[in-house]
Structure 1
Amino acid sequence: MDPRTSAQDVTRCYLCENDVAQIHCDTCLVNLCTACVGKHMISDESKDHKVVKFQSRKSTLLYPECSTHLKERCKMYCKQCDIPVCISCLESNQHLGHELSKILSVLDERKDMILKERNELNDKIYPTYQDIASDVQNRMSQLEKEYGDLSTAITKHGEDWHREIDKLVKKLKAEVDEMKNTQLQTLQKHLDEINKKMSDIKDDINAVELVIDTNDLSKLFSVTINVHIYRNLPQKIVLSLPKFIPANIQGEELNNMFGALSSSSLTSDKHGYSMKTTQKSPEAGSSPPVKQLLDEPETVTTIDTGYGNLYSVACLSDEEIWTCKSDTTMKLYSINQGSLLKSITTKSGTRPCDIAVTKSGDLVYTDYWYRTVNIVKNEKIEEVIRLQNWRPSNVCSTSSGDLLVIIESDYRKQTKVLRYSGSTEKQTIQFDDKGKPLYSSGGNNIYITENRNLDICVSDNGAKAVVVVNQAGKLRFRYTGHTPAPKNKPFYPRGITTDSQSHILTADYYNDCVHIIDQDGQFLRYIDCGLSEPWGLCTDTNDNLFVAQWGNVKKIKYLK
């Protein structure tokens, strides 16, 4: 093994590469043997070589070289100019009247500043870039999946069209065969009649041939030919054949009939990322700006749906909301226009128990009686989850794209929360640390949402409480209402939602109000705004609150 390159060898001289290094040049930062020190000193006489024992390497302070005066070292620091200066700089009166300090006096301050900046790079900036890179990679993976789903949906729709076209072609060809057979039968009957007359004519001709040369007059007079009958030729049957008239399909018309893609977008948001804090926090995404509660909440608009008691509402966007009630349809409304945009009927024909909207904008609903959780994509309903011995009641979509589903056992003996990624069950939340059920049983209204800090928040009507657990399913607190209540009635929470400030909002059905509590369960205020039996709740990206109640949805502003 070459001793000069062996990783286990001692440090060798920089010049001869053979002898053990005993000297170090702090100016050039090279290791030398004693024999090579003189050679190194004269190798570059422009430098002031500071040689020390190898054990004392890097102990010599190297003052910075002056950028103006060659070979001069700067031992002073000009605070006004924020630069090191040498004796020649001072003698030239360039810094006359400036505040000067020995450079060593600012050394610790400069080291502290550099260390602070290094720590910021190490503890905040670099981890933030790591998170950004991870976020971009995750979004790329999600993009691949969602575009794959989009292509699959288009392919499936094309297959549906092919099936329908095949059915239509088969039907038209069957009609062609039926028309052909009918006309062939008619012509065959006509041909049979003509052949019969031709046979009769032949018989008459033969009869004449037998008697035409006879001398027996009686035979001649016995022949009777009905030529006048044959002179009346049969009617000609004229056929009218069907024609296939293909629809004139232009490219744009076909697009409109088949379906079209909405436009995609690619924009930059300079506020999209925020610097990572040194204190570890489970909070997802960037920290939102702090918003204060309004002194008096105000109703922005009322969307009149004109039908029954709405028990669930979900924001598709800041302009559109989904609603549902005790029938088989889920309806999409324009918030600004108040008009009905779309209706979706459940696949089973039973009412949806609850609705939610995913990160990608798809509608999700639970079918309690058929034990399924379903997703609506391009107005096609797909079954995502099917349960055995349990029934799904309420559902929410999380910031990670998972689904949190409240499920009840048959006969309503138990209640628990399941987390799903697609159709895969990832987590079960049912008991506290003492093994006691977190949630009530008995078929009461239980609604669920996720807070910005990833807490799982459940409004448990049967327990008369809001039950909040952390992401791991550990109980954080129970909120059991606040007194005095607006109508002094017991607290029976129903719909629940959260906002960008990690506030938790829950509908108080019998007190005609909404409670706002902070992320630790402390009561902040009531919202009433003339509410009547509020039930379903949701918030949009601007922290406007939507309250579903009898026959309408109210949009309420409660944050500044």
Structure 2
Amino acid sequence: MDPRYSAQDIIRCDLCEIHVVQSHCELCQVNLCKSCVGEHLSTSTKTHRVVPYKDIALTRKFPKCKMHSKICELFCEKCNIPVCSSCLTSGKHKGHHISDILQKLSTKRKDIEKELKELETIIFPKYEKIALGINTKKSNLETHYRKETAAVIKQGENLNRVIDIIVNKRKSEIDVVKNINLAALNKQENCITKITLEVQQTIVYLKKILQSSDIFAPSKIKSTNVKFRLLPLEVNVSLPIFSPWKISTKQLDQMFGSLSVFSISKEEHGRILDTPNVASSPTAKQLPVLEEPKIISTIYTGNSLHSVACFIDEEIWTSGNGCIMRLYNLHWNLLKSINSKSRNSPGDIAVMRNGALVYTDTNAKTINVVTKKKIEELIRFQGWKPDSVCSTSSGDLLVTMDSDDGENSKVVRYFGSTETQTIQFDDKGHSFYSYGHSKYICENRNMDICVSDYGASAVVVVNQAGKLRFRYTDSNALNFAPRGIATDSQSQILIADCENHCITILNQDGNLLSYINNCDVYLPFGICINSKDNLVLAELSSGVVKIIRYM
């Protein structure tokens, strides 16, 4: 055994199959021993390429034809495959352009070298740069969102502090009222105790007289029962009730704050490939309107009604024809009656955030507030007559009014008695509202100002800045006659359609949602919404107040 080839002794010459391989023909892909090399070179007219066997790994390996088991020395350009000489003689590639396989592979090799150079010098560095940029953006993203998360947490802490302050304030108010009530009851108790003691002493004295042997003793007694029969006035304390403002998740979410619109885009050499994906904030789940609304309470007032207002769910203010404003509870009990200061019929009534009743006096051109002791004039108008009024979430008053000259109508916002905003004309100088007909007003949860304009047979909604959002006219109604208007916790707008004997329900964008046209509704006029999202409805001629659950 030749020690130089001991590691590959099994590899023999392909011709003699005896001697150890020393050479290799690249063209024929055969292994040759030293003695067979000459014979192999002389057996063909081909230009063989014989190399030392130890360099075989560096040599090119020609493909073998699967059909003829020969080395493919040629390449068919049309079929794009390597071919052998037998493939050509078979006629299968007749008329095809045939090239030398080494020449073809050399051209292909140059193409690969160019691609490799582009990958190494241009493409790969760009990907590295992009990857580095992504890491930088990720780092900046983490920093940014840590900052935003901290801002949200801080806002939550601020909100909690405000809530704690409000809670402590309300607790203090309750304690003050409690102490006042308790002092009044204690005073009455002391009075009763004193009188009771006198009665007991009188009883003992009278018994003693009756048991006395002095027959003239009874004649000396003067009756004190007249004094004791007159019982002291009973002290009844009016217990305050805390009425929580119903806060929806959507409302609190809007008050808390929101993320700005964000976008994601893809760019290549500065050119945007994709349109931005704009984030839209999720809307709060809308509570469904009942298919069959139900009357849960009815109050028979016996008076023609124009307006209703409520501060706590158990009590309802009403007004109508006549100068008297009446306060009822849900058991039909009349709790209070108040005459307007001028003895005119109130134009409209509303309850302020502190529970005080306010009303418009169209003829006297005033807005008045009812305190515990008297009626005070809050605003007096010159050249304008107030019509409808509402109290806003910020404590302002919104008032609809018509001019004395019979030409103009507007909405004015007041902080106390100070005018802070006037809403009258659109961008083209046209008046938002008709003149001379009743217009009810309310504020929606999104701060929109909603007015039912009977004269225009429309509901006019503007935003907080006084810009028109939409006008709603009911094409389904034979004669849309909007009167009272109110909004609920879902920012739905409810309108009393007097002549069609129904309540129209819109969403905050003016799209029709539903009607309340059962519950024996007849000539609905004034409406409001209580804290439980129930509709409080006053019928014009029947004088009936109905509380309807519709959600």
Query: Shorter-chain TM-score: what band?
Result: 0.5 to 0.7
Q: What's the CA shift for 1:279? A: 3.8
Matched, 1:495 2:487: no
Task: Quote the residue 2:502 is aligned against.
Answer: 513
Give the count of matched residue pairs. 338
Letter in 1 for 2:319: C
Query: Matched residues in 1 for 2:353 and 2:259: separation?
Result: 28
Give the secondary structure class of the aligned counterpart of 2:292.
Answer: strand
| Change in 2 beyond 3 A, CA 1:387/1:361 | same
Q: What's the CA shift for 1:119? A: 2.3
Matched, 1:545 2:542: no
Give the 5 Å matches for 1:99-178.
Answer: 116=145, 118-122=147-151, 124-131=152-159, 133=161
Preserved CA contact (<8 Å) 2:410 2:422: yes
Give the secondary structure class of the aligned counterpart of 1:359.
Answer: coil
Preserved CA contact (<8 Å) 1:312 1:323: yes
Give the 5 Å matches for 1:73-88.
Answer: none
Preserved CA contact (<8 Å) 2:365 2:385: yes
Task: Kindly name which structure, 1 or 2, has the bigger radius of gyration based on alpha carbons.
Answer: 2
Preserved CA contact (<8 Å) 1:482 1:523: no
Give the 5 Å matches for 1:39-78.
Answer: none
Task: Quote the residue 2:458 is aligned against.
Answer: 465
| Change in 2 beyond 3 A, CA 1:111/1:270 | farther
Q: What's the CA shift for 1:369? A: 0.7
Query: Matched residues in 2 for 1:330 and 1:137: separation?
Result: 36
| Change in 2 beyond 3 A, CA 1:463/1:396 | same
Preserved CA contact (<8 Å) 1:539 1:545: yes
Q: Over aligned residue pairs, what C-alpha RMSD do you find?
A: 3.8
Give the secondary structure class of the aligned counterpart of 1:295.
Answer: coil
Q: 1:366 aligns with which of 360, 363, 367?
A: 360
Q: What's the CA shift for 1:129? A: 3.6
Q: What's the CA shift for 1:110? A: 11
Letter in 1 for 2:148: N
Letter in 2 for 1:536: G
Q: 1:439 aligns with which of 408, 433, 437?
A: 433
Query: Matched residues in 2 for 1:391 and 1:504: separation?
Result: 26
Q: What's the CA shift for 1:114? A: 7.9
Q: What's the CA shift for 1:354? A: 0.3
Task: Quote the residue 2:314 is aligned against.
Answer: 319
| Change in 2 beyond 3 A, CA 1:528/1:435 | same
Q: What's the CA shift for 1:121? A: 2.3
Preserved CA contact (<8 Å) 2:246 2:531: no
Q: What's the CA shift for 1:126? A: 2.0
Give the secondary structure class of the aligned counterpart of 2:150.
Answer: helix
Task: Quote the residue 2:346 is aligned against.
Answer: 352
Give the secondary structure class of the aligned counterpart of 2:321.
Answer: coil
Preserved CA contact (<8 Å) 1:373 1:383: yes
Q: What's the CA shift for 1:265? A: 6.8
Q: TM-score scaled to structure 2, two decimals?
A: 0.55
Letter in 2 for 1:524: L
Q: What's the CA shift for 1:120? A: 2.1
Letter in 1 for 2:388: N
Give the secondary structure class of the aligned counterpart of 1:121.
Answer: helix
Task: Quote the residue 1:3 is aligned against.
Answer: none
| Change in 2 beyond 3 A, CA 1:503/1:307 | same
Q: What's the CA shift for 1:412? A: 2.7
Q: What's the CA shift for 1:552? A: 0.1
Q: What's the CA shift for 1:301? A: 2.0
Give the 5 Å matches for 1:18-417.
Answer: 116=145, 118-122=147-151, 124-131=152-159, 133=161, 256=235, 262=239, 276-279=256-259, 290-308=286-304, 310-335=305-330, 337-417=331-411
| Change in 2 beyond 3 A, CA 1:320/1:135 | same
Preserved CA contact (<8 Å) 1:328 1:349: yes
| Change in 2 beyond 3 A, CA 1:513/1:453 | same
Query: Matched residues in 2 for 1:299 and 1:316: separation?
Result: 20
Query: Matched residues in 1 for 2:289 and 2:243: separation?
Result: 34
Letter in 2 for 1:400: S
Preserved CA contact (<8 Å) 2:442 2:450: yes
Give the secondary structure class of the aligned counterpart of 1:500.
Answer: coil
Preserved CA contact (<8 Å) 1:546 1:556: yes
Query: Matched residues in 2 for 1:353 and 1:332: separation?
Result: 17
Letter in 2 for 1:305: T
Preserved CA contact (<8 Å) 1:329 1:343: yes
Query: Matched residues in 1 for 2:504 and 2:244: separation?
Result: 37
Q: Which moved more, 1:341-350 or 1:404-413?
A: 404-413
| Change in 2 beyond 3 A, CA 1:253/1:501 | farther
| Change in 2 beyond 3 A, CA 1:453/1:253 | farther
Query: Matched residues in 1 for 2:349 and 2:430: separation?
Result: 29
Q: What's the CA shift for 1:278? A: 2.1
Provide structure 1 residue ranges, at least 5 long, that are not aligned to the other structure: 1-106, 151-246, 282-286
1:398-448 per-position Cα deviation (integer Å, ceiling 9, x unaligned):
00010001111114321111111111111111111111101001x201000
| Change in 2 beyond 3 A, CA 1:269/1:491 | closer
Give the secondary structure class of the aligned counterpart of 1:127.
Answer: helix
Preserved CA contact (<8 Å) 2:247 2:489: no
1:440-495 per-position Cα deviation (integer Å, ceiling 9, x unaligned):
01x20100000000100000001110000001111110001141x3xxx2111000
Q: TM-score scaled to structure 1, two decimals?
A: 0.54
Give the secondary structure class of the aligned counterpart of 2:149.
Answer: helix
Q: What's the CA shift for 1:293? A: 1.3
Query: Matched residues in 2 for 1:510 and 1:109: separation?
Result: 63
| Change in 2 beyond 3 A, CA 1:112/1:416 | closer
| Change in 2 beyond 3 A, CA 1:445/1:358 | same
Letter in 1 for 2:537: V
1:48-98 per-position Cα deviation (integer Å, ceiling 9, x unaligned):
xxxxxxxxxxxxxxxxxxxxxxxxxxxxxxxxxxxxxxxxxxxxxxxxxxx
Give the secondary structure class of the aligned counterpart of 1:535.
Answer: strand
Q: 2:443 aligns with which of 442, 450, 460?
A: 450
Task: Quote the residue 1:481 is aligned against.
Answer: 474
Q: What's the CA shift for 1:527? A: 0.5
Query: Matched residues in 2 for 1:296 and 1:264: separation?
Result: 31
Give the secondary structure class of the aligned counterpart of 2:550.
Answer: strand
Query: Matched residues in 1 for 2:154 and 2:499: separation?
Result: 52
Quick one: percent identity of the two aligned structures?
46
Preserved CA contact (<8 Å) 1:303 1:338: yes
Q: What's the CA shift for 1:133? A: 4.9
Preserved CA contact (<8 Å) 1:344 1:379: no
| Change in 2 beyond 3 A, CA 1:268/1:457 | closer
| Change in 2 beyond 3 A, CA 1:280/1:466 | farther
| Change in 2 beyond 3 A, CA 1:375/1:521 | same
1:513-553 per-position Cα deviation (integer Å, ceiling 9, x unaligned):
01000000000011012211111010001110011102201
Give the secondary structure class of the aligned counterpart of 1:468.
Answer: strand
Q: What's the CA shift for 1:351? A: 0.7
Task: Quote the residue 1:523 is aligned against.
Answer: 512
| Change in 2 beyond 3 A, CA 1:365/1:266 | closer
